[in-house]
Amino acid sequence: MTHKIWQKSANDNDLHAKIVEQFTVGNDVAFDYVLAKFDVMGSLAHCEMLHSIELLTSKEWISIEKELKHILTEIEQNKFEIEPGIEDIHSQVEHLLIQRIGETGKKIHSGRSRNDQVLTDLKLYLKSEILEITSLAETVFKTLISLSNKHKNNLLPGYTHLQIAMPSSFGLWFGAYAESLVDDLELFLAAYNIINKNPLGSGAGYGTSFPLNRTLTTELLGFKSLNVNSVYAQMTRGKSEKVMAMALSGLAGTLSKLSYDMCLYLNQNFGFISFPDSLTTGSSIMPHKKNPDVFEIMRARCNRIQALPNELIILTNNLPSGYHRDCQLTKEGLFPAIKSLKECLEMLDFMLQNIEIKTDIVKDKKYDYMFSVENVNEQVLDGIPFRDAYINIGLAIENKEFIPNYNINHTHEGSLGNLCNELIEDAFNKVISKFN
């Protein structure tokens, strides 16, 4: 078994230690691969700072920098691995440095704890994932806006209580989900701003007597600012994951609702949309079936993601200040959720590119009554008080005398007319521009 960086002697490597290690490390090594490049980036910044305050000589810094960049290349080329007996990414990187450049490698941990090290890795990772998610969301947004503009004049029955309500349009439907993404990215922006603060230099939560230049590492790592109070810096472990989970949940909620709409509208009793046969699945016994399995899986994935904030709240609830190993388990829910949501965004855009809509839906007589509000409005425009007009049309319906006016303009882009999607695009672009 490899000597641990926290061990004081090799005698600690006994059977009891192995049992404890297997339980406490768990699946963490697998998740540490996700953090590998960010760990090296953090070490590069930390060591450059150590050189700036003369805790590393120029020769030592050049040697460390060269080898850390070599390790980073190995990570990017998938040639990096955490060896058996090495308990985490931090230990592996330090182990490689010592192995390759000797005693100098032992100096990189000066003024640093694994606590602020993993916090730094995690925040860099979450920042990177937020930017990737916003990019994928932007692609979906543009597709939705394009579909909304293309189908703004194609009528779609609106439903409330799952009962036929009023005329809507595919333009309004696609546009609604585009605007929902604006609010979803507002949540990601809030999470990004909270996460975008440098914890490096806070040590185990109580700082260090070394004259660390935390402003320098903040600049080197691209953080907007730093967590000033070292105790609070450690308190952001768990908090960072929770705010990220809440942002994931918001976007997952939008995708889940859209997935439900897709399943509903694809149903033969609605028949509003369709997809090529290759994008639906069949039944093992019923040859006529075209099942929306993609959207059912997407809905299930996104519903599971929406449970993540509660899981993390319960996991980290009622912990006192300071670091606690409980926080290690946040990776097990958060990392797969991020991956799953990105896959859902990619699949959603693919499906939207292949959606087919029905253009003559409202010709079906069962939708006649959804024009009743327009008939009421027409009487109001003729000077009849709304309540009287409402009664008039209501009685006409009861007496089977109602005649819908199909000639009423139903472009239905909302009360803002042609400006609707322009305003939504403007709002989206303003949010995107705030990510740095």
**Cα gap 97→88, rounded to integer Å:** 15
Tell me the two tokens of residue 285. Answer: 């016994």
Q: Nearest to residue 127, comparing CAs of 32, 49, 38?
A: 38
**What local confidence, expressed as pLDDT, does residue 13 receive?**
60
Check: CB of residue 111 under 8 Å from CB of residue 138: no
Catalytic residue among 9, 16, 161, 415: 161
* Mean pLDDT calculated for residue range 16-31: 73
The rounded mean pLDDT for the chain is 91
* Mean pLDDT calculated for residue range 218-245: 96
CA angle, 351 then 357 then 363, to 5°: 160
Residue 1 above 50 pLDDT? no
Residue 385 above 50 pLDDT? yes
In this structure, of 185-189, 230-234, 360-364, the range with the lowest mean pLDDT score is 360-364
pLDDT in tens, 67-100: 999 999 999 999 999 998 888 899 999 999 999 9
**What local confidence, expressed as pLDDT, does residue 27 receive?**
74
Q: Nearest to residue 168, comparing CAs of 181, 185, 152?
A: 152
* Secondary structure of residue 43 in the 3-state scheme: helix
Is 340 annotated in the active site? no
Q: Dihedral sign, CA of 410, 414, 416, 420?
A: negative
Catalytic residue among 70, 283, 321, 324: 283
What is the residue extent of each domain of the chain? 10-110, 115-207+231-363+413-432, 365-398
Percent of the chain past pLDDT 70, that is, above it, reads: 92
**What local confidence, expressed as pLDDT, does residue 328 receive?**
87
The yes-or-no answer to whether 10-110 and 115-207+231-363+413-432 have a common fold is no
pLDDT in tens, 323-377: 888 888 899 999 999 999 999 999 999 999 999 999 999 989 999 999 999 899 9
Of the candidate CATH numbers 3.40.190.80, 3.40.50.620, 1.20.1080.10, 1.20.200.10, the domain formed by 115-207+231-363+413-432 belongs to: 1.20.200.10
Instruction: Identify the CATH class of 10-110.
Output: mainly alpha
Is 161 annotated in the active site? yes
